[in-house]
Amino acid sequence: MAILDDYSETPPAPPTKTFIRRHSVATRITHWINVLCLSLLLMSGLQIFNAHPSLYWGQYGADADPAWLSIEAVTEGDDTRGILRIGNFTVTTTGILGVSGTGDDEAQRGFPAWATVPGYQDLATGRRWHFFFAWVFVINGIVYILYGFALGHFRRDLALSAEEVSPRHLRQEIADHARLRFPKGEKARHYNALQKLTYLLVISIMLPLMLATGLTMSPAIDAGYPFLLDLFGGRQTARSIHFICAWSILLFVIVHVVMVVLSGFWNNMRSMITGRYAIECDGGEK
């Protein structure tokens, strides 16, 4: 009878999918403008960096001052090697950094041609690209912030509760991400605590710091607002901070893209293009 009773039980309802509206039109448009701007800002920034591929701390960064980071081409006899130096650490990077290309196309330059805009060495053009898309990026950011406050996007989607920032909750989310366990059902409707913390860090600290250090490197801005040089300890320090922030944001983008792929590439892309996001509900949950 026990066996018959087991067979008579109703099987659990299979998981179902339901679509929700996850991203507004404004969020989607500003997101893709950011993708374009950040890509061209990075590539034109590398073009500018190639004009003097070394970074210093302090006011001047003269040739006599030690660089904390440099990309060099070192020639010994007939052999030219690309070298990356970070403090006392040195690594050979021939073919990518310092010396890129092969044969007749081999060139001595910090970052390779495929990573810069324009591909050929042209500081003036690189600056024009960088400044233009920097202002597009700033205007786009202002639109996003105004929208976020006006329509409650920040309060609704990015506000953190006390429970979310508790060490126990954060440890659990880190463990779930490490095991590639992504939220389902009701939890999938909202950003998790790690996403909120990361976005707030980028929006409120990294991007403003990028903007401020970028302005500090402009002689015209320094003439009108000389306190920026004192705030950052000199143009060379501002340049170093700008460089570190740029690569930190690139690291954030790489991790973001990896998580998008692992958690469902087509579902995430659809939500950022059309706004529709599919969530899986267990046992008929709606």
Q: Are residues 58 and 45 in the same domain?
A: no
**What is the pLDDT of the chain when averaged over all its residues?**
87
How does pLDDT run across 111-150, given as a tens digit for each residue?
Answer: 999 999 999 999 999 999 999 999 999 999 999 999 888 8
In a domain, 2, yes or no: no
In the chain, the percentage of residues whose pLDDT exceeds 70 is: 90
Domain boundary among 86, 110, 134: 110
Q: Are residues 225 and 91 in the same domain?
A: no
**According to the model, what pLDDT value does residue 20 have?**
82
Q: Are residues 206 and 229 in the same domain?
A: yes
Region 68-91: mean pLDDT is: 91
Domain boundary among 110, 144, 177: 110
In a domain, 214, yes or no: yes
In a domain, 1, yes or no: no
**According to the model, what pLDDT value does residue 182 have?**
84
**According to the model, what pLDDT value does residue 12 have?**
58
Sign of CA dihedral 30, 34, 35, 36: positive
Range of the domain at 84: 54-110
Domain boundary among 94, 110, 126: 110
CA neighbor of 26 nearest in space, from 133, 153, 138: 153
Provide the β-strand partners of residue 86.
Answer: 69, 89
In a domain, 131, yes or no: yes
Q: Are residues 44 and 130 in the same domain?
A: yes
**According to the model, what pLDDT value does residue 178 have?**
86
Asked if 76 and 83 count as a contact pair (C-beta separation under 8 A), the reply is no
Question: Global pTM?
Answer: 0.86
Q: Are residues 95 and 186 in the same domain?
A: no
Region 178-194: mean pLDDT is: 83
Q: Are residues 75 and 192 in the same domain?
A: no
In a domain, 75, yes or no: yes
For the domain that residue 159 is a member of, what is the CATH number? 1.20.950.20
**According to the model, what pLDDT value does residue 13 have?**
56
In a domain, 3, yes or no: no
Res 284 pLDDT > 60: no
In a domain, 196, yes or no: yes
Q: Are residues 68 and 163 in the same domain?
A: no
Q: Are residues 172 and 46 in the same domain?
A: yes
Q: Are residues 164 and 271 in the same domain?
A: yes
Asked if 242 and 213 count as a contact pair (C-beta separation under 8 A), the reply is yes
Res 285 pLDDT > 70: no
Looking at the structure of the chain, the number of domains it has is 2
In a domain, 104, yes or no: yes
Alpha-carbon distance values, 233 to 58, 60, 207 (Å): 6, 10, 19
Region 21-38: mean pLDDT is: 92
**According to the model, what pLDDT value does residue 205 have?**
93
How does pLDDT run across 194-226, given as a tens digit for each residue?
Answer: 989 999 999 999 999 999 999 999 888 888 998
Q: Are residues 60 and 167 in the same domain?
A: no
